Amino acid sequence: MSDVATLIRSGKVDQAQSVLDQTKNTNSADWHYRRGLVLEAKGQVDDAVDAYEKAMALDNNCLDAIFRLACALDLYGEEERAMILYESLAGRIPTHVNALLNLATIYEDREEFEDAHCCIERVLIEHPNHPRARLFLKDIESSMSMHYDESQERTREKRNAIMDTPVSDFELSVRSRNCLKKMNINTLGDLLRISEAELLSYKNFGETSLNEIKAMLKQKTLRIGQMKDEVQQTSRPTAAAAPRRQSEGSPDLLSKYLSEIEFSGRSRKCLQRLNLVTVLDLVSKTESELLSSKNFGQTSLNEIKIKLGEFGLSLRKKTD
């Protein structure tokens, strides 16, 4: 029966079907598992899922069927069911490496980085030199750092919104309000960028107005001049979109759908997130453009470069 999987990997699906027919045994979990492989290779995913489920019903220890069922469900949108199956495999001994890797991918997509990190650490405990796990660990750690940066950015945006609040929104005396207006101090941020001495140096601005403003700011845990020495953050210039190059390769190859190419679940989700549909869409991207996408790491990049290399293609170079 192992010939079936070998034939499928060689692209000989019809021969695999023939071997399957010759060895038909509907009471065998292994036979239903192999049938699922053939159906999946033919693109009949729903039927493949049924075959894997029959294999599980006959033998709950048919781990290959459980894993393939989880993969099929994961790739075609039933993530919750896939997670239950991956977690059942992850709890078995010996460790099911591929189940842990795929489970880590789902956790990372959900930004549950600690859980993803734990999955990869479990793989590396038993297989310290596992190349994919080691790369994946770096990706997850990078995502954790990125998530922290995004949190910082949200905090910064909230702070900026406070700084842009007009001083006219607060109850101040007419005298204080007029002085601030003449000094061109219109927002809370303006007050935080000027010193008490500078305020008092202005004509008609006295201790009474100063104390009033200080009391108003204190209610918001702010104080006059606290941003005076901060360097103002400037936004990065937005890079112009790189023009699409005239890619090498036959029109038939470049118009090939990426869904027709066998990628890991992690890479496939990243490509979908980038709205890349065809091979041409993919080869028009640079490595840095792909890596800038959320959760797209070196592991996925290496896989994609290898797949493109099989077609004699490569990603766009920065100098194009």
Provide the residue ranges of all domains of the chain, joining segments of one domain with +: 2-146, 164-218, 251-310
Alpha-carbon distance of 205 to 172, in angstroms, equals 13
Instruction: Assess contact for 300 and 266: CB atoms under 8 A.
Output: yes
CATH class of the structural domain 164-218: mainly alpha
Does the domain at residues 2-146 carry the CATH identifier 1.25.40.10? yes
pLDDT of residue 85: 93
Instruction: Assess contact for 300 and 138: CB atoms under 8 A.
Output: no
pLDDT means over runs of 10, the chain (320 residues): 78 89 92 92 89 93 92 83 90 84 86 86 86 83 62 61 81 86 85 83 84 84 68 36 49 76 76 79 87 77 88 79
Assigned token pair, 197: 């001495």
Alpha-carbon distance of 97 to 100, in angstroms, equals 5
Instruction: Assess contact for 29 and 38: CB atoms under 8 A.
Output: no
Same fold: 2-146 with 251-310: no
To the question of pTM greater than 0.75 for the whole model, the response is: no
Residue type, 247: S
Residue 250 φ/ψ region, left for φ over 0, alpha for ψ in the -120 to 50 degree band, beta for the rest: beta
pLDDT of residue 236: 38
Alpha-carbon distance of 104 to 259, in angstroms, equals 22
SS3 content of the chain, % helix, strand, coil (to 5): 65, 0, 35
Alpha-carbon distance of 197 to 168, in angstroms, equals 22
Instruction: Assess contact for 117 and 144: CB atoms under 8 A.
Output: yes
Going by C-alpha positions, the residue among 148, 157, 151 that lies closest to residue 233 is: 157
SS (H, E, C) 17-40: HHHHHHCCCCCCHHHHHHHHHHHH
CB atoms within 10 A of CB 310: 8
Instruction: Assess contact for 100 and 116: CB atoms under 8 A.
Output: no
Dihedral (C-alpha) 263, 266, 267, 273: value to the nearest 10 degrees? 130
Instruction: Assess contact for 8 and 37: CB atoms under 8 A.
Output: yes
pLDDT of residue 235: 33
Alpha-carbon distance of 192 to 217, in angstroms, equals 9
Does the domain at residues 251-310 carry the CATH identifier 1.10.150.20? yes
Alpha-carbon distance of 15 to 191, in angstroms, equals 78
Instruction: Assess contact for 274 and 251: CB atoms under 8 A.
Output: no
